[in-house]
Chain A
Amino acid sequence: MPSVLGDYAPVLVFGAISVVIAAAMLGMALVCGQQKPYPEKVTAYECGFEAFDDARRRFDVRFYLVAILFIIFDLEVAFLFPWAVSLSRIGLFGFLSMLGFLSVLGIGFLYEWRKGALDWD
């Protein structure tokens, strides 16, 4: 479909440019740079002192909670886009159905707020 491609041609150009720039930076470093690795040089660098341990370790489950809550509100926002585009055609009923959807999620938002899920501690 050439029309869609025409609409997004600038994005395509930007994408191509970014790929070229990234490839040039990595490639030039690979080609032109002197590389003399030895075991001490390629160890993980941690502000000058020895690395404590592996990066794969348990961390607080609250990071996960924040990510889950973000996904849920992300999906909610995704529903808002077509609603906003077609609001003039769906009338009062469509408007109210979105309000119902938002109020259901608003209850969830109130729940997590009162429960303290948004507080870090």
Chain B
Amino acid sequence: MLAQLVFYVFAAVLLLSAAMVISVRNPVHAVLFLILAFFNAAGLFLIAGAEFLAMLLVIVYVGAVAVLFLFVVMMLDIDFTQLREGLQRHAPIGICVGGVLFAELIMALSHWTMAPAGVSVPLQAAPGLTNTAALGTLIYTHYVLLFQACGLVLLVAMIGAIVLTLRQTGSGRRQNIEKQHARTPEETLVLVRVPLGENVLEQGGFLRPQTSYYDTAVPGSYGSTGQPAVEKEETGA
């Protein structure tokens, strides 16, 4: 009874939020509704007993994919007046595509046969194992080739993303970390005794040794060769 109630709540919220995803005006709100839909789908998976899938949905889809969707949505420059301009021209094409898809759906549904009620689905739970453990016993031994192929796909995705998007601008100030860690205060600080009541600027400002900024800079990065342009700014402050 309670399980059915929870199921209907999750299913109703899932359907509502899925409808909101495609009907809401603001694309950022659409992505947020998509996240709500993911959460409810995870709840449905939990009720069906598929704990691992539910957690995967939360970790991967809500944690990572939705973030990526938000990125894409925020990167798009969506102008509604501009979007509505093409509506008249593109409407016939859109209606054609939608009609074809709808006809295909009708054809698929008309040939759909339901199993008679009472026929049990030929799925057997692994005896004495939780869902996750049953998956684990199969993935890493029986399906080892596919598993390693997954690793290769992930590697290709990683290298592809880096090759496509990584642009070293060289405008950053990167440090040679080992050098920076090995430095002592004596190398980087000069203590100046300032008389009481005197202006600090008259004593030369806040002084750093000339090499303090750029002797730990990575060669080629910003400021690695540049002379006191930065130091002067500091003094003026």
A interface residues (Cβ-Cβ under 8 A, vs B): 1-2, 4-5, 8, 12, 55-59, 61-65, 67-72, 74-79, 81-87, 89-91, 93-94, 97-98, 100-101, 104-105, 107-109, 111-112, 115-117, 119-121
Q: Which of B45-53, B104-112, B186-194 contacts A (4 or more CB under 8 A)?
A: B45-53
Pick the contact of A71: B64, B137, B152 (CB < 8 A): B64
Q: Are A81 and B172 touching (Cβ within 8 A)?
A: no
Query: Cα distance A115–B160 when bound, in Å?
Result: 13
Q: Which DSSP category, helix, strand, loop or mixed, fits chain A's interface?
A: helix
In this complex, which of B49, B71, B78, B167 has the most chain A Cβ atoms within 10 angstroms of its Cβ?
B71
Chain B residue contacts of A68, Cβ below 8 A: 68, 157-158, 161, 165
Q: Are B71 and A86 touching (Cβ within 8 A)?
A: no
Pick the contact of A56: B74, B150, B165, B171 (CB < 8 A): B74
Interface bits B71-110 vs A (CB < 8 Å: 1, else 0): 1001111100000000000000000000000000000000
Q: Are B51 and A101 touching (Cβ within 8 A)?
A: no
B63 (CB) vs chain A CBs: closest residue? A74
Chain A min CB distance to B55 (Å): 7
In this complex, which of B51, B150, B170, B172 has the most chain A Cβ atoms within 10 angstroms of its Cβ?
B150
Does B16 belong to the interface (CB within 8 Å)?
Answer: no
Q: Are B47 and A1 touching (Cβ within 8 A)?
A: yes
B134 (CB) vs chain A CBs: closest residue? A86
A65 (CB) vs chain B CBs: closest residue? B165
Chain A min CB distance to B69 (Å): 10
Given A83-B140, A94-B141, is A71 in contact with B147 using a C-beta cutoff of 8 Å? no
Q: Are B151 and A104 touching (Cβ within 8 A)?
A: yes
Q: Are B172 and A85 touching (Cβ within 8 A)?
A: no
Q: Are A108 and B3 touching (Cβ within 8 A)?
A: no
Query: Cα distance A112–B154 when bound, in Å?
Result: 13
Q: Are B141 and A90 touching (Cβ within 8 A)?
A: yes
B64 (CB) vs chain A CBs: closest residue? A71
Does B22 belong to the interface (CB within 8 Å)?
Answer: no
Chain B residue contacts of A81, Cβ below 8 A: 52, 55, 132
Q: Are A71 and B150 touching (Cβ within 8 A)?
A: no
B140 (CB) vs chain A CBs: closest residue? A94
Q: Are B172 and A4 touching (Cβ within 8 A)?
A: no
Chain A residue contacts of B56, Cβ below 8 A: 78
Chain A residue contacts of B6, Cβ below 8 A: 5, 12
Query: Cα distance A87–B136 when bound, in Å?
Result: 8
Q: Are A108 and B158 touching (Cβ within 8 A)?
A: yes
Chain A min CB distance to B7 (Å): 9
In this complex, which of A63, A70, A82, A83 has the most chain B Cβ atoms within 10 angstroms of its Cβ?
A82
Q: Are A121 and B221 touching (Cβ within 8 A)?
A: yes
Query: Cα distance A109–B151 when bound, in Å?
Result: 12
Q: Are B133 and A97 touching (Cβ within 8 A)?
A: no
Query: Cα distance A98–B71 when bound, in Å?
Result: 32
Interface bits B166-208 vs A (CB < 8 Å: 1, else 0): 1111111110000000000000000000000000000000000
